[in-house]
Amino acid sequence: SSMAGLQVRSVLVTGANRGIGLGLVQQFLGMTNPPKWVFASCRDPKGQQVQELQNLASKHPNLVIIPLEVTAPASIKAAAARVGEQLGGSGLNLLINNAGIAKVNLLDNETLEDMTRTYTTNTAGPLLLGQAFLPLLKKAAQGSPGSALSCSKAAIVNMSSSGGSITSLEGWDLMQVVSYRCSKAALNMLTKCQSLGYREHGILCIALHPGWVQTDMGNSVGFTPPLTVDESVRGMLKVLSSLSEKDTGTFLDWEGKAISW
């Protein structure tokens, strides 16, 4: 399989109850050599929208559903403690910050509340998650042979968007979504900062654009995006399996192409 290069012992995916997050969980579980632990986090594990994840968990003992509200520091700390407990003495190889929100507003309708909420979820969330899971990521990096960075060793993957690219500003005529764009441009800067700050610990950091995908969020424009979740996720996992030292702190899409900041 194209993902054969990705050998992770443990992975955490946030926002895992639907869309791209759920697609990632399904692909990890379906690997020939699946991770020993797949941690899938969502806001309300007992909620209406978590049925598919629950069904998967009943079939896969290596899938652990973790309650996590990425806007709440206490919830993030509790999740890190739970994951650490489950991992015993070993570390976490891969943190995928996928949870995100978008408000489909025009520029004139953006409010302080929408800007703040979007930024708190999409930018501050991944910052705090990186901090909380740093000890476990470090542990994974230390326990992995060789010094070269890779996603099989230890990595933070921030789910970004070409909508956050200041140079290309994709899809402006379709969706202005200013608060979302600002939060993703800031997430890209966070990725760069994490790549610089965590390099010495052996942790690779990357911003990834999944493409325009057929999810609840992607469909909110009123027509069907070109990519299925499956195509996007398979592409992204292939990209993750090929990343090395030179790629840390970069902004790539689901096909591995560089996106301009």
**Whether the model pTM is above 0.85:** yes
Establish if 159 belongs to a structural domain. Answer: yes
Domain that holds residue 124: 11-144+151-253
List, for the chain, all residue ranges whose pLDDT scores fall below the cut of 70.
Answer: 1-5, 217-222
Establish if 193 belongs to a structural domain. Answer: yes
Establish if 242 belongs to a structural domain. Answer: yes
CA 167 to chain centre: 23
Establish if 102 belongs to a structural domain. Answer: yes
Q: Which of 171, 148, 175, 165 is nearest to 244 (CA)?
A: 148
For residue 48, the model assigns a pLDDT of 80
φ, ψ of residue 175 to 5 degrees: the values are: -145, 120
Establish if 6 belongs to a structural domain. Answer: no
Into how many domains does the chain fold? 1
For residue 195, the model assigns a pLDDT of 98
CATH label of the domain that carries residue 199:
3.40.50.720
Establish if 5 belongs to a structural domain. Answer: no
Kindly state the tokens that stand for 89: 């003495």
Establish if 259 belongs to a structural domain. Answer: no
For residue 223, the model assigns a pLDDT of 72
Establish if 1 belongs to a structural domain. Answer: no
Provide the 10 A C-beta neighbour count for residue 235: 19
For residue 170, the model assigns a pLDDT of 76
For residue 216, the model assigns a pLDDT of 75
For residue 147, the model assigns a pLDDT of 86
Contact 68, 42 (CB under 8 A): yes
Distances (CA, A) of 130 to 27, 191, 198: 23, 10, 10
